[in-house]
Amino acid sequence: MIKCPLPNVIVLILLIVLGCKSEVTQNFGTLSQQSPTIVGKTEYLNSPYVTAGNRVYMVGHQDGSFPDLGWHIKGEMGGIWNHPIKLMDGFDIELFDAIDTLKLNQAKGFTNYPFANKHSFLWDEKGIEIERWQFVPDNEQGIVIQLIIKNHGAERKVHLKFTGYSDLRPTWLGERTQMFDSKDIGTYDEGKQIWKIKDSLNPWYTVFGGDLEFRGEPKTQQLKTENNTSSNSLEHVILLPSDETYVVNYVIAGSYTSESDALNTYKTIKDNINSKFISKQERYKTLANRSKLIVPDKNIQQAYEWLKYNCDWLVRTVPEIGIGIGAGIPDYPWWFGVDSEYALKGYMAIGQKDIVYSTIKLLDSVSNAVNGNGKIIHEMSSNGAVFNPGNINETPQFASLIWDIYKWNGDINFLNNYFPTIQKGLEWLMNENDENQNLFPDGFGMMEIHGMDSEMIDVAVYTQRAFDDASKMASELGKTELSKTYEDLANQLKTKINTEFWSEDFNSYADFIGTDTQALHLIDDAIVRADTLNKPWAVEELQQTKQRILAQPSNELKPFVLHHNWVVNTPMEMGIADPEKAKKALKTAETFVNPFGVFVTGIDRDESAGTDEGSFKGSKSFSYTGAVMTLPTSVLAIAENNYGNPDKALEYLKRMTKSFSYAFPGSMYEVSPDYGMITQAWTIYGYAIPIIQQFFGIQPMASKKSITIQPQMPSTWNTASIENVSVADNSVSIFYNRSDHTTELKVIQEHADWTLKIVIPKTDFKTFEIDKTKVTIEENDSSFTFKTKSKALVLKLNN
């Protein structure tokens, strides 16, 4: 995105530069020595990374360059963003003398930290090693770039030049809120020794400077700008003593409201670099210690830990609009309905409560403002412009999200606040979208394939779950009659899904229920797709289905299996599939995987899918055709656990984990292993739910001050622990240890006035031993339940 001509250059009269200010004498390398790190792969240096912050973030390439990135605003989704505006396309840093130049855009290595990044450069001819670090302080509209320059050769003077490329422009859909880009104009402030750049028609500013100081008066040279952008440079001469380290900090700040706001941010960051770095580092240690996992599979353990950091990377704060999680970086940094509805269940389980509440508040308030009928929006840009007012599935999934969060927080005011939206939404869902009154709403669900807007399996399943959850919410709120109405609808839908959506021919739930005419159109499109992708098995299957339809025409609505889309697994994800049907469907689902996980659309699979562990070969224009994604894989992991198959669930987790750090160290791409968004919010759903709520079996009911624990641990996890899982004002930790003849389960909670319920199937043991804790034991045909109100319980099961 570096589009500008020769930059404005600060030409020095006196070349002697004062040293760094006292606060930055500690470099980031020293400060971060105890932090986890992941080193990137050399072959992926020419691929993106993010330096994350809740106000500002920066996206560039791991080699230190800033190429054009993204498609939402073509080529503009990288650089430095302060939503709802962009600040800069990026920057260049050069070291040079009279003979040679080293430009810091061809790094030899990249290292990621939870809260910062580091690029490593070598100037071999001079014996100089340079590290370029960056981090975004919490709650600040700015970023710090630090150079750590290590001179292993003779003492020398070198020029150091920092060039910033401003591109003050609005976010996606800016024109809908009267945000229009104009020319950037740069002014050098000699007193503050900073560049100030303003969009000529808007109160949008970016400022940047360093902690090196000039002796003497610098000269400025003003050059024209192009494409509404500008480039402006700071140039110094620094003395590098032999075998010493030199530290330089640059600060970039911005504002979409005023110059004074940008300047105040700049000063605040510049004066507090160390303290803000340490503060963010400490906050990330706190994130790591919440729902802290230790398991034998260290790859999964590491991925799980870093996904907690990824969750924080995606927090997007625009005070005038709201605070919520973005869906993914770089192209989905704003707010989505369904992405949040999956992700926030995981966020809650890992203890990141505040962003859960603020995201729900944002979605609810905007949905009510835009739709007013309980329908939940799909996508909103960071300027508040709603692009899609909502797909059908997002409204029922919102209901289930609220119930899930309520189980964790037990806050009746929370339930009271959002139940009106749920009630209106369910009325809209059934009254406005079920023309034939068969309880299956019509319209788009998760599969955004043209023509797939009849009665979709995922819409039906999530609607059933919504009524089931709404029934429980109504009961909590004392709405007994409404609770019974919702319960009856949920029961009817469960029966109908298991009969009307099931296809015995395919041992699968159908993609959709529709007419022959709808199916034939979709088949023709699918054949073109499969043929184009060279999937002969899919072409043959689709042609056979087409012939069956033509041979037995009907005007009746029927279930159709055409694409083998991942959503056919939602009945098992929600646990409503009949057990025998679930067993068959889960076996069928195993067909549509590759080493990284589950295909979004099954007909995109081919014979090499089982062994292909290479890079995803996407199309020239951005497309999800042929994609394997973390969300479909997450759904199957949860589904397998629901039907008592933790080893199969773990297998899907292992597939997903293969893409962890594949391209961007410390993260998982949206499309496995290395395509689409470099970090994606809903991935946490596929780790937090299977691990915390299923393997460890933590099922809270905070309103009753009760935590049920029903572990179903994979056979290879003989020792495992999860610590500091937050449930309302309580916290619970579980330590699991299994040997040849004994399994020990130790449960610790913070508050002794909560009831712990440990549920163990009778098939898991012959005898049991309990420590001195007072325990009530309940028995039914299949299990024992051990109940106690105490801070700790140790249960030993003997085989």
**Model confidence pLDDT, tens digit, residues 725-744:** 999 999 999 999 999 899 99
Question: pLDDT tens across 48-86, in order?
Answer: 999 999 999 999 999 999 999 999 999 999 999 999 999
Q: Kindly report the CA angle at 395 between 394 and 398, in degrees rounded to 5? A: 85
Q: Which amino acid, residue 330?
A: P
> How large is the average pLDDT for residues 562-579?
97
Asked if 96 and 8 count as a contact pair (C-beta separation under 8 A), the reply is: no
Distance between first and last Cα of the chain: 65
Question: pLDDT tens across 216-231, in order?
Answer: 444 344 444 568 999 9
pLDDT of residue 524: 92
Kindly state the percentage of the chain with pLDDT values over 70: 94
Residue 41 pLDDT > 50, yes or no? yes
Find out whether the peptide bond into 673 is cis, omega within 30 degrees of 0.
Answer: yes
pLDDT of residue 607: 65
pLDDT of residue 17: 38
> How large is the average pLDDT for residues 766-775?
87
> How large is the average pLDDT for residues 460-481?
98
- Which of 286, 284, 303, 295 has the alpha carbon at shortest distance from 722? 295
Q: Which residue has the tokens 């309520």?
A: 406
pLDDT of residue 707: 98
Residue 11 pLDDT > 70, yes or no? no
Main-chain dihedrals φ then ψ at residue 538, nearest 5 degrees: -70, -40
Asked if 265 and 142 count as a contact pair (C-beta separation under 8 A), the reply is: yes
pLDDT of residue 624: 81
Q: Cα–Cα distance between 148 and 156 in angstroms, integer? A: 16
Higher pLDDT, 325 or 531: 325
Kindly state the percentage of the chain with pLDDT values over 90: 87
Mean pLDDT of the chain: 93
Main-chain dihedrals φ then ψ at residue 771, nearest 5 degrees: -70, -170
Q: Cα–Cα distance between 342 and 345 in angstroms, integer? A: 6
Q: Which residue has the tokens 């809908």?
A: 176
Question: pLDDT tens across 637-695, in order?
Answer: 999 999 999 999 999 999 999 999 999 999 999 999 999 999 999 999 999 999 999 99
pLDDT of residue 765: 85
Q: Cα–Cα distance between 769 and 749 in angstroms, integer? A: 20
Question: pLDDT tens across 398-418, in order?
Answer: 999 999 999 999 999 999 999
> How large is the average pLDDT for residues 124-133?
96
What are the strands of the beta sheet with 776-779, ordered from one edge? Answer: 698-701, 706-709, 755-761, 783-788, 776-779
Total-model pTM: 0.94
pLDDT of residue 5: 36
pLDDT of residue 608: 59
Higher pLDDT, 607 or 519: 519
Residue 363 pLDDT > 70, yes or no? yes
